[in-house]
Amino acid sequence: MQSSTTARRIVAISAAVVAGALALSGCAGGSAGGGTSGAGKSFSMAFVPKQLNNPYTDVELSGGKKNASKVDAKVTVVGPNTASASSQVSYINTLTQKKTNVIAIAANDPNAVCSSLNQAKSGGAKIITFDSDTAKTCRSLFINQVVSKDVALVELKQLGEQIDYTGDFAILSATANATNQNTWIKFMKEEIASNPKYSKMKLVTTVYGNDDDTTSFQVAQGLLQSYPNLKGIISPTTVGIAATARYLSTSDYKGKVVLVGLGLPNQMREYVKNGTVKEFALWDPAKIGQAAVYAGRALVDGKITGKTGDSFDAGSLGTLKVGADNTVIVGPPTEFTADNIDDFDF
Ligand code: RAM
């Protein structure tokens, strides 16, 4: 129970941090004023994350806020508290009315936000997706954390080596519509089906915790009740893996059911130290926010349009290139274990 309280406290603190940031930016009402835009001039940029009350979101957006002054961007953050498919639409519409110059969105659904994004674009806004993409036609470019297939491969490898590449496993994902998780899951399924190394591993079910801590905890509990022979769980969401680890840590399954996935080191540290989790993966989310504000500057200045082959300066991240599918890849995944987890603070 103590760790459950801790997790709730982290969520509460995160919400307070976002609220504080909004107040500081003068946008507590969830608005982003239109900037003057144009080459070299200050511009307004709004981040619309999947949801506000997610510690991952806070780290991601801290990179945008920290770098905003370097590109002369007035950065604001608006968005829903739950990651449901259409929950972002009203926020986009408000940003369009306010003539926000750049909208950067982590989409909860590849299509549900498209018509409102297209309206924003018609009104002159540049559209960037980050973390979780929309359909290609709805944005200029996508800032993707890692090559999507590499995320799938690292998850399968970490699970496989801990269960001797044999046995039933399940996936505990975010929401059913999330573009990023669904892409990673698609690559996992393809790899399981095509790589003989995984022929004795069977994916028995995929369940959804909706990137809500309590729901994810309950779904993890239900999963183990329904599949008592489960050897492992892959949770490709920071909310899901933390909630599942919390459940496992106080259950009889601790040390017996392997848990891997994508987690924030600061949320996972206690579970690595108490032996619930041996390894998991992620990237530094702040780099995504940083890449997005620099991409916003380059789009506003007309230096790039987001086409494949474009490149832009991203400050301490160096020059970033727009690759296939108008996608920018920020970096490789990092694997965390007891040996290196204390080297990371996010
Ligand atoms: C959750 C969200 C986010 C995802 C991370 C790994 O915080 O679903 O979109 O990128 O996990």
195-254: pLDDT as tens digits: 999 999 999 999 999 999 999 999 999 999 999 999 999 999 999 999 999 999 999 999
pLDDT tens-digit readout, 246-283: 999 999 999 999 999 999 999 999 999 999 999 999 99
Q: Give the ligand 1 atom nearest the CA of 211.
A: 8
Output the pTM of the full model. Answer: 0.90
**Stretch 22-37: mean pLDDT, rounded?**
41
Per the CB < 8 A criterion, the answer to whether 287 and 332 are in contact is: no
Question: What is 43-145+285-330's CATH topology?
Answer: Rossmann fold (3.40.50)
Residue 104 clears pLDDT 70, i.e. is over it: yes
Name the token pair of 62.
Answer: 């801290």
The one-character DSSP state at 71 is G
* Residue 54 beta carbon below 6 angstroms from any ligand 1 atom: yes
Pocket test residue of 154, 238, 282, 334 for ligand 1, highest count of atoms within 8 A of CB: 238
Name the token pair of 27.
Answer: 């946008």
Ligand 1 centroid, distance to 272 Cα (angstroms): 19
Report the candidate in 112, 111, 86, 91 with the shortest Cα–Cα distance to residue 103: 91
Ligand 1 centroid, distance to 69 Cα (angstroms): 26
Ligand 1 centroid, distance to 174 Cα (angstroms): 8
- Domain 148-282, CATH: 3.40.50.2300
Q: Rounded to 5 degrees, what are φ and ψ at 96?
A: -65, -45
Ligand 1 centroid, distance to 301 Cα (angstroms): 30
Ligand 1 centroid, distance to 38 Cα (angstroms): 33
Residues of the chain with CATH 3.40.50.2300: 43-145+285-330, 148-282
Burial class (CB in 10 A: 0-12, 13-18, 19+), 153: middle
Which residue, by CA, sits nearest to atom 6 of ligand 1? Answer: 237
Which residue, by CA, sits nearest to atom 2 of ligand 1? Answer: 237
Mean pLDDT, rounded, of the chain:
91
pLDDT tens-digit readout, 270-320: 999 999 999 999 999 999 999 999 999 999 999 999 999 999 999 999 999
